Amino acid sequence: MLDRKLLRSFDWALYLAVLLVSFFGVLIIASASASNDYASLPLWNAVLESLRNNSLVQKQLLWILIGHAAMLVVVLVDYQIWAGLTYPIYAGSLALLVAVLLVGSSGGGDQRWISLGGFGVLQPSELAKIAVIMALAKGIEKIGRPDTLWKLFLALLHVGLPALLIVIQPDLGTSLVFIAFTVTMLIGAGLTPRLFALMLAGAGAAAPFIWFKGLRDYQRSRLLVFLDPTKDPSGEGYHILQSIIAVGSGMFAGRGLFRGPQAQLNFLPAQHTDFVYSVVGEELGFVGVALLLLFLAFIVLRIYRIAGLAKDEYGRLVSVGVATYFAFQILVNTGMTAGIMPITGLPLPLMSAGGSSYLASCIGIGLVLNIGMRRKKILF
Residue 121, H or E segment: strand 121-122
Q: What is the DSSP string of 33-71?
A: TS-GGGGGS-HHHHHHHHHHH-HHHHHHHHHHHHHHHHH
Distances (CA, A) of 103 to 100, 112, 128, 221, 245: 6, 10, 17, 28, 39
In a 3-state reduction of DSSP, which class is residue 111?
Answer: strand
User: pLDDT tens digits for 307-316?
Assistant: 999 999 999 9
Q: What is the pLDDT along the chain (380 residues), one digit of tens a residue?
A: 567 777 888 999 999 999 999 999 999 998 888 766 676 677 777 788 878 888 888 999 999 999 999 999 999 999 999 999 999 999 999 999 998 888 766 655 566 778 776 666 788 999 999 999 999 999 999 999 998 999 999 999 999 999 999 888 778 888 899 999 999 999 999 999 999 999 899 888 888 887 777 777 777 777 777 677 777 676 777 778 888 888 888 889 888 888 877 777 777 777 888 889 999 999 999 999 999 999 999 999 999 999 999 999 999 999 999 999 999 999 999 998 887 887 777 899 999 988 899 999 999 999 999 999 988 754 44
- What type of residue is 288? G
Closest C-alpha to 72, from 150, 151, 2: 2
Question: CA 153, CA 151: separation in Å to the nearest integer?
Answer: 5
Closest C-alpha to 304, from 294, 314, 317: 317
Question: CA 161, CA 199: separation in Å to the nearest integer?
Answer: 18
Distances (CA, A) of 124 to 114, 121, 143, 214: 8, 10, 27, 21
User: pLDDT tens digits for 179-206?
Assistant: 999 999 999 999 999 999 998 998 888 8
pTM, rounded to two decimals = 0.91
Question: CA 263, CA 8: separation in Å to the nearest integer?
Answer: 43
Asked if the bond preceding 269 is cis, omega within 30° of 0, the reply is no
Question: CA 299, CA 232: separation in Å to the nearest integer?
Answer: 37
